[in-house]
Amino acid sequence: MSSKENSPERPNDNAQQNSDSEKGKDGNEEPKPVGLFSPELKHVRREIAWKWLLTTVILMIAIMGVLSLCE
């Protein structure tokens, strides 16, 4: 069988998933808690605010458009 899965050129998927470089000291790396107004989340807050503003404006335009059809 000349399968790519068994070729020595392709790294073993299990070896990549179980690499020690991604683990903490005890083998389990826990996510670190981050505050809501942390500078690391600046881009997330900006994206959320932009999407909220866009959704609100679209809904406002749609509602005003429907209401303008009524006499």
- pLDDT higher than threshold 60 for residue 67: yes
Which DSSP letter does residue 32 get? Answer: P
Which DSSP letter does residue 25 get? Answer: T
Report the C-alpha gap between 32 and 27 in whole angstroms: 15
pLDDT in tens, 22-51: 555 666 888 888 888 889 899 999 999 999
pLDDT in tens, 5-28: 555 555 555 555 555 455 556 668
